[in-house]
Amino acid sequence: MLDESQSEDKDKSSSLSDTRVDSGIDTNSDIQSGVGSNIDEVNNGERSEYLKAIRHLDKLLTLNPSDPATYFDKGFILEILEKFQESIKCFDDALKIKPNYFQALYRKGLALSCLKRYGEAIKCFDDALKIKPTDINVLNNKGSTFQQMGLYEEAAHAYEETLKNKPNDITALNNKAVALVNMKKFHLALEHYDKALAVKPNDITALNNKGIALASLARYDDAISYYDMALAVKPNDITALNNKGIALASLGRYDDAIFYYDAALSLNPDASDIYFNKGIALTNVGNHQEAIECYDKAISIKSDYLDAYYNKAISLAELSRFDEAIRSYDEVIFRSYDYVYAYYGKGFSLDCLERYEEAIQCYEEAIRIEPDYIHAYYRKAHNLEKLGKASEADKCIKMARNLELQKTKLTKSL
């Protein structure tokens, strides 16, 4: 969850982004059979047994190629082994023989969702629901798939259908609350987390996610209390440790935040988002060199981590390492041509190196992407003045002031 805001300082592009690790969608009730969270639990010995089972099923299919249950069993095992495309073929073979095969439709939907073929997955879930309209697992997974598509209202509706049939379903309560948070309906989300916690007071997902909802309302102390409750249940919960760090950082308690980020990283040294968050805290206490090391670590784990490249560039610029900052901004621009703040930041670094023509080009790109970018107009004007282009600079300043006036009028009207 990235929260980007541009600094009001006209001379520095110093926005930083926090990444919150959200417990997110809890699909435990649907996927205990193997897809999703349990896939990692398949060890080499189990894999060998599953492969042996597949060979046995293949022999059965040679003897009886018209048995839908055998195709289903093979597809189910392939799904556990994350061979989703092959599993889908088996479910299709089962459905050719038995078109209303509920479990085959449901499991095919799960496999399609794992392949991010979300529209096809929804169709499978809908077909399954025609057979069993109130099946909780199908409804919850339909909601989860809508969540992955960013269709939060549709997701909330699917979870509500579950709750009509099973009002205390912990998965549906948690996941509907997540959808409501994404719809910015924080107070309603809090009500659903409270219902979930009334059913299961020590539910880690609900405790963590209620903390996130509270933090979204800037109720950071309250959020911390819920992360502490999660940690009381599970002291090594990485989500709670990281999110507590974010809440502490939001309160300006950066050293405390770093302590919790370090605790999380000791449990998972490959968590790119947590290195990123630690980098932000270090930047905020002025420790730019260590911040750069954290951003580099995040990038080494996740090579396309745009915000890590961007924040690294900010710290490099703070250390007057402008050539390196420019290279880091270029990494962002190469991967995301419309990342407006990267152009602004690159322009500022070029400005500091007295490369005014190039800086102006960057500010113009920033304005192209965001036409009301007031600070970019001011910085462009500054560089034009350095080049002796006073009349062009005056036009930029006039444009910036007009935009400021419009912004003031809009604020007053609100």
The reply to whether the predicted model has a pTM over 0.75 is yes
The CATH number given to 42-133 is 1.25.40.10
| Cα separation values, 41 from 37, 238, 242, Å | 8, 19, 24
Q: What separation in angstroms does the CA of 251 have from each of 150, 186, 221, 281, 291?
A: 30, 20, 8, 11, 19
Residue 35: name the closest of 144, 122, 135 by CA.
144
Same fold, 42-133 and 338-414: yes
E strand intervals along 79-214: none
Structure tokens of 193?
A: 């987390």
User: Reduced to 3 DSSP states, what percent helix, strand and coil does the chain have, rounded to the nearest 5?
Assistant: 75, 0, 25
Q: How far apart are CA 407 and CA 391, in angstroms?
A: 24
Cα distance between residue 245 and residue 104, in whole Å: 43
Amino acid type, 161: E
- Cα separation, 312 vs 259, whole angstroms: 21
Question: Residues with Cβ < 8 Å from 158, sequence gap 6 or more?
Answer: 139, 140, 142, 143, 146
CATH number belonging to domain 270-336: 1.25.40.10
Q: How far is CA 338 from the centre of its chain?
A: 19
Query: Among 1, 31, 37, 145, which residue's Cα sits nearest to residue 157?
Result: 145
Tens-level pLDDT at each residue, the chain (414 residues): 233 222 233 333 334 444 433 333 333 333 222 233 333 456 777 888 999 999 999 999 999 999 999 999 999 999 999 999 999 999 999 999 999 999 999 999 999 999 999 999 999 999 999 999 999 999 999 999 999 999 999 999 999 999 999 999 999 999 999 999 999 999 999 999 999 999 999 999 999 999 999 999 999 999 999 999 999 999 999 999 999 999 999 999 999 999 999 999 999 999 999 999 999 999 999 999 999 999 999 999 999 999 999 999 999 999 999 999 999 999 999 999 999 999 999 999 999 999 999 999 999 999 999 999 999 999 999 999 999 999 999 999 999 999 999 988 777 766
State residue 390 phi and psi, 5-degree precision: -65, -40
Q: Where are the domains of the chain?
A: 42-133, 270-336, 338-414
As a CATH number, domain 338-414 is 1.25.40.10
Q: Residue 34, class by beta-carbon neighbours within 10 Å (0-12 exposed, 13-18 middle, 19+ buried)? A: buried
